[in-house]
Amino acid sequence: MNYSRFSDVVVFDNTYRTNRFDLPFGIFTGVNNYGQSVCFAGALMKNETIEYFTWLFNSFLELVNYRAPNVLLTDNDSAMGSAFNVTFKIYGTKHRLCQWHLVKNITTNLISKLGSNWQSFLKNFYSCLYETKETNFNLAWDSLKVQFPEAVSYLKTLEKHKEKWAMCFNQNVFMAEMSTTQRAESMNNLMKGYINATTSMSTFLNAFESALDNRQQTVEFSQYKECTLNIIYKTTSPFEKQAATILTIYALKKFQEQLIQSSCYKCEEITSDR
């Protein structure tokens, strides 16, 4: 896998564990130009301290010849955040919180506290998460704390890092759809298909390699389909025809959506009276 082609956004997930030794296993995930999740690297860790995360992040940077991603998405872990500040940050990488991990942790910490109010809370939280205007976000967030006082303590911990997860603060940050639930679950489900609670250390690496081989076969099949599918144009724009010569079908569809949406806007030249 050519890392340089897919290195804009990388997710680091350390939720996998090998049962016998209970060692955390972290993987670095990206997205390729077919819209598929790909694994760049994996590592078994002795523990989850600042020291070990710093070693891991430095090792990954060395592996990719210090071509740091533009964005690193992680769990909201203080040790991980501290390690990021002395490794990726100096290369200009932005640290953002993966929304899948965010909601997973919220569920773990609040579902029992909120009880019958959980679904109502989650709906309101998502409204805050996807709000695009900072003023509206602040109003909705304050309202959330008033409506659900049982959750205030945990919400205040999230509030300290709101710039890392709320959409209104990240409008200009390219995420490559890596922040969505579906994207994170894709790699999660792949790993669970080969690695479970009974996997021993002796078979762990073989299982991981099998998972990567399976994903590579999926990529190769997508490459094959690119040669057989006919391109369906949505407009008569020369930009669309040019895009079709350089983009994959997946990327072209994204471009077509934006091209069609652009026709809904009117451009006017603004002149100064000076």
Predicted confidence (pLDDT) per residue in 72-99, tens digit: 988 888 899 999 999 999 999 999 998 8
For residues 28 and 226, which has the higher predicted lDDT (pLDDT)? 28
Question: What range does the domain containing 256 cover?
Answer: 231-262
Whether residue 65 is found in the same domain as residue 7: yes
Residue 151 maps to a domain = yes
Pair 189, 254 in one domain: no
Question: Across residues 145-168, what is the average pLDDT?
Answer: 94
Residue 131: pLDDT band with limits 50, 70, 90: very high
In a domain, 213, yes or no: yes
220 closest CA partner among 63, 3, 32: 32
Q: Which of 46-55, 98-107, 206-215, 259-268 has the lowest mean pLDDT?
A: 206-215
Whether pLDDT at 47 is above 90? no
Domain assignment present for 271? no
Each residue of 186-208: pLDDT tens digit? 666 666 666 666 667 667 777 77
Closest CA to 9 of 34, 44, 38: 38
Q: Is the pLDDT of residue 19 over 80?
A: no
Q: What is the distance between the alpha carbons of residues 207 and 115, in angstroms, rounded to a whole number?
A: 39
Distance CA 71, CA 174 (A): 8
* Lookup: tokens for 156: 């205040």
What is the spatial distance between Cα 203 and Cα 186, in angstroms, rounded to a whole number? 23
Residue 40 sits in the same domain as residue 83: yes
Per-residue pLDDT at 68:
92
SS3 of residue 258 by DSSP: helix
- Between the alpha carbon of residue 254 and those of residues 165, 177, 243, 248, the distances in Å are 23, 11, 11, 10
Tell me, yes or no, whether 206 and 72 share the same domain. Answer: yes
Span 170-189, pLDDT tens digits:
988 888 777 654 555 566 66
b or e along 247-262 (b: 16 or more beta carbons within 10 Å of the residue's beta carbon)?
bbbeebeeebeebeee
pLDDT over 60 at 2, yes or no = no
18: left (phi over 0), alpha (psi -120 to 50) or beta: beta
Which of 169, 198, 213 marks a domain boundary? Answer: 169
Residue 146 has pLDDT above 90, yes or no: yes
Q: Do the domain assignments include residue 272?
A: no
Residue 85 shares a structural domain with residue 8: yes
Q: Do 64 and 40 meet the contact criterion of CB atoms below 8 Å apart?
A: yes
Q: What is the rounded average pLDDT of the residues 97-110?
A: 89
Give the CA-trace dihedral at 208, 188, 177, 236, to 10 degrees. 80
Indicate the number of domains in the chain.
3
Are 93 and 142 part of one and the same domain? no
142 and 257 share one domain: no
Q: Are residues 18 and 68 in the same domain?
A: yes
In a domain, 255, yes or no: yes
Kindly report the backbone phi and psi dihedral angles of residue 72, in degrees, each rounded to the nearest multiple of 5, phi listed first.
Answer: -115, 120
First-to-final CA distance of the chain: 56
pLDDT confidence of residue 216: 77
User: What is the value of pTM for the model shown?
Assistant: 0.77
- What is d(CA 16, CA 24) in angstroms, rounded to the nearest whole number? 6
What is the rounded average pLDDT for all residues in the chain?
83
Confidence of residue 209 (pLDDT cuts 50, 70, 90): confident
Cβ(73)–Cβ(98) below 8 Å: yes
Say if 11 falls within a structural domain: yes
- Within this chain, do residues 76 and 198 fall inside the same structural domain, yes or no? yes
